[in-house]
Structure 1
């Protein structure tokens, strides 16, 4: 049977594949942040007033107040930790007044508590506060960080001379890798240059917006900017809507819980930005809610997506590794409102009753399908929904026919060599022409230990990018949307799978190209 390809619905759970199998150019592959990183950063609460004593007291508080036990592991130093000049060897110098034991001494203390230390630098000539930047000093600075025992680098974007961000950030990526020390790499280029389209190959996370502040309006704006980028996130590479303002500024307790809920639903890094030693019981209870944290840290690594949004009443759904679905009902408005969705709308089916767990109250209930709550102004109700099956998609297997050429998508010579560009060839039904579009939006060829994925080379998103086979790794450059008009678009690039030049000869290569409606971009699977 030939099937005109169509969009696959909400994906079902797929195994977590180590990013270590990906080629260095296409994925960072440092084995870090397989779930979103959790920790603390001093900037939101203290600005430039960072010091060794502050970092040590914060680490000690996290060690004893339940945060470390809840999963917070990084204690991160932000800007202003260094002197205004490098030393005679060109190395950064920790300010001796602020850090009398140096960064290494501070790291040693943090490590003694079982926590990790992060530091800040900038991919420009100077940091945002005017201290020496790392542009042109990447190798030296990376070596300093590694020798001090640094575990995390937040890399900012001020004073960047106008050079392309991807180039500047990639140099530091390579410098960190060359040290041999695992250092989580957090890109902070404020969502510029469509960082989400290339960030997975460069960093473990990337800021998707400008800076947050401790107000509901700021949080809401950032939420709207980040929520639509789910296809770019996954284990080892996350969209970062900036640090948490829970406990800060004008945010109410209800608004703080909303921020924490939405960040968890969006699989965002959870980096606390408040005064931890003096945090209120309410702030700590929000930051350490184990049920909500479990949603953020779910090993499937799916970012939640917007199911519906009407009049400021939002429904988000996030599939989880065990088949459950996390649902967030978010009320953007200034008045209490009832928000309703259904099990079917969030990708659940096949049960006469579903179990609901309220992730803030812990209360349990059941429903035959309706999921509803009265949600306070600026509030969020979160449920974990169990029962039935998850995902509306089905896998489809067969030959992938190029309509314009009358040929089939083919792996040359039935090779399994990663990096081989696919082509069109006269259809013959061999296993090198048999493709499966999975419920996780992958297009796979072969089976078992030989299975390979259709892959956009090097995470590139420009017309002419070659389409190849590569070991399956779950990244968005290996996800493909099969559209009802017969086109196949790359999830990461938005470009169409295309027969180069519209040619029809055996051996013509496949590539990504701007969607143009031509027959060389139409395919049938079956």
Structure 2
């Protein structure tokens, strides 16, 4: 194996002023319907899998009863297909009366009674991606409606708009939300409509309007999709890292862990690890009523979640990348004398071959002379104290990952 050369450059999230609404000081966590349930509206044929108020209530109950809320998952996100096909006589949005008979305000209050937050979905274009009424021409009216319904989060999509219109529409909705006086976390699809047409992405501008933003294609329920997202973020990390920090986060899309059929256990650990290295939102899309215990354990791993939510709020980066393998590092607490602790993840992309890596800690910037207490975050086992000159050796299974924390001594 060729000698490994590791370089770590800390990104400064203060590159741009963040949206000043006091929200998303750490990456948000929760559950969203889209990847798992899409736009299923036939509640007669699919009573347990259609987009209706019972689905969101049941998932909220699972967050609370099954321990997800205790580890930080506290948002329930509605996606597309919740609306009636037309606005009412006053031009206001209306929830589908058959599938949401209690109305959105009642659903928000259901969440709030459980100390959860409700997220809702709209689109800046004339229509949503599924053909429901978009917000174009109704921005302030819709923002007022969401505030009146006591919603806590808005995901604004960009179907049926020109990519160049994002620079108008997304800031316009931010101003409208701010004018309501209600704190509403704001998720933008803005950059994800710019990269495919090779338009310049101005993260300074995006951070000033949005609390989180998508950059790449929607995730699908496959290992290939997860890898494509990782590859995109690896490619653009020097541009992405300076833009991430309290109040504004890159959103690589939903966690598909436990969505059947989909990722293996090892692959699920990859997604959870890399998303946490990136300080990404941890928003699940799965059926919490039927999730297998091993996937639930991955989603509720407090040590890995702590890496994602680390107060230093630095997006980690790839320090070594090849076609089959990658090493990722993220500075984390605790700190001492301007030195940080680190999370380290070693990814094996290969389908059927284990990967063994070894390197001295000093070669990846771990130079604290007193050493580091090493911990395997997936086995939850403390390892030995290692000095900068000591060699770390890891064996990683196919399509798997090892994730460690190196805590300053």
Instruction: Find the aligned partners of 2:360 and 2:80 in 1 and give their Cα distance.
Output: 46
Structure 2 residue corresponding to 1:45, chosen from 36, 42, 45: 36
Matched, 1:325 2:342: yes
Measure the CA separation in 2 of the matches of 1:258 and 1:162: 32
Q: 1:281 to 1:90 in 2, by over 3 A?
A: same
2:356 corresponds to 1:338: yes
Corresponding position of 1:437: none
Distance 1:134 1:9 in 2: 42
Q: Residues 342 and 100 of structure 1: is their aligned pair in 2 closer, same or farther, counting only changes over 3 Å?
A: farther
Match of 1:505 in 2: none
Which of 237, 257, 270 does residue 248 from structure 2 map onto?
237
Which whole-Å deviations, capped at 9, do the CAs of 1:263-284 have from their partners, x for residues lacking one?
0011110000001122111121
Partner Cα separation in structure 2 for residue 240 and residue 209 of structure 1: 9
User: Any conservation in 2 of the 1:122–1:134 contact (CA below 8 Å)?
Assistant: yes
- The alignment status of 1:205 with 2:212, answered yes or no, reads yes
Indicate if the aligned counterparts of 2:92 and 2:142 stay in contact, CA closer than 8 A: yes
**Which one of the candidate residues 263, 266, 290 is aligned to 2:278?**
266
Instruction: Tell me the equivalent position of 1:57.
Output: 58
Deviation by residue 1:175-232 (Cα, 9 ceiling, x = unmatched):
0000011111001232524254532111001101011111111111111212412221
1:314 CA displacement: 0.7
C-alpha deviation, 1:119, in angstroms: 0.3
Q: How does 1:177-326 map to 2 (within 5 A)?
A: 177-189=178-190, 190=192, 192=194, 193=199, 194=201, 196-227=203-234, 228=237, 229-248=240-259, 249-322=261-334, 323-326=340-343
Partners of 1:261 and 1:242 in 2: CA distance = 14
> Structure 1, unaligned stretches of length 5 or more?
1-7, 389-526
Q: Is 1:110 paired with 2:111?
A: yes
Q: Report if aligned partners of 2:360, 2:392 keep a CA contact under 8 Å in 1.
A: yes
Cα pair 1:34 1:299 within 8 Å, conserved = no
Aligned length: 373
Aligned partners of 1:156 and 1:345: how far apart in 2? Answer: 43
The unaligned stretches of length 5 or more in structure 2 are: 1-6, 40-49, 335-339
Note the alpha carbon deviations across 1:379-407, whole angstroms, 9 max, x for none: 1110000126xxxxxxxxxxxxxxxxxxx
TM-score by length of structure 1 reads 0.68
Out of 385, 391, 394, the residue aligned to residue 373 of structure 1 is 394
Does the C-alpha gap of structure 1 residues 341 and 171 become closer, same or farther in structure 2, counting only changes over 3 Å? farther
Return the alpha-carbon distance in structure 2 between the equivalents of residues 9 and 46 of structure 1.
39
Q: Counterpart of 1:131?
A: 132
CA distance in structure 2 between the partners assigned to 1:379 and 1:196 by the alignment: 32
Residues 256, 262 of structure 2: 8 Å contact kept: no
**Partner in structure 2 of residue 511 of structure 1:** none
Task: Render the CA deviation track for 1:452-489: whole Å, top value 9, x for unaligned.
Answer: xxxxxxxxxxxxxxxxxxxxxxxxxxxxxxxxxxxxxx
Structure 1: distance between partners of 2:64 and 2:329: 33
Q: Distance in 1 between matches of 2:92 and 2:248?
A: 30
Q: RMSD value over aligned CA atoms?
A: 2.0
> Do residues 33 (structure 1) and 24 (structure 2) align?
yes
Asked which structure has the greater CA Rg, the reply is 1
TM-score norm. by structure 2 comes to 0.87
Q: 1:342 to 1:173 in 2, by over 3 A?
A: farther
Larger fraction in helix: 2
Aligned partner of 1:406 in structure 2 is none
Q: Of residues 351, 372, 381 in structure 2, which corresponds to 1:354?
A: 372
Please give the alpha-carbon distance, in whole angstroms, between the structure 2 residues aligned to 1:302 and 1:162: 29
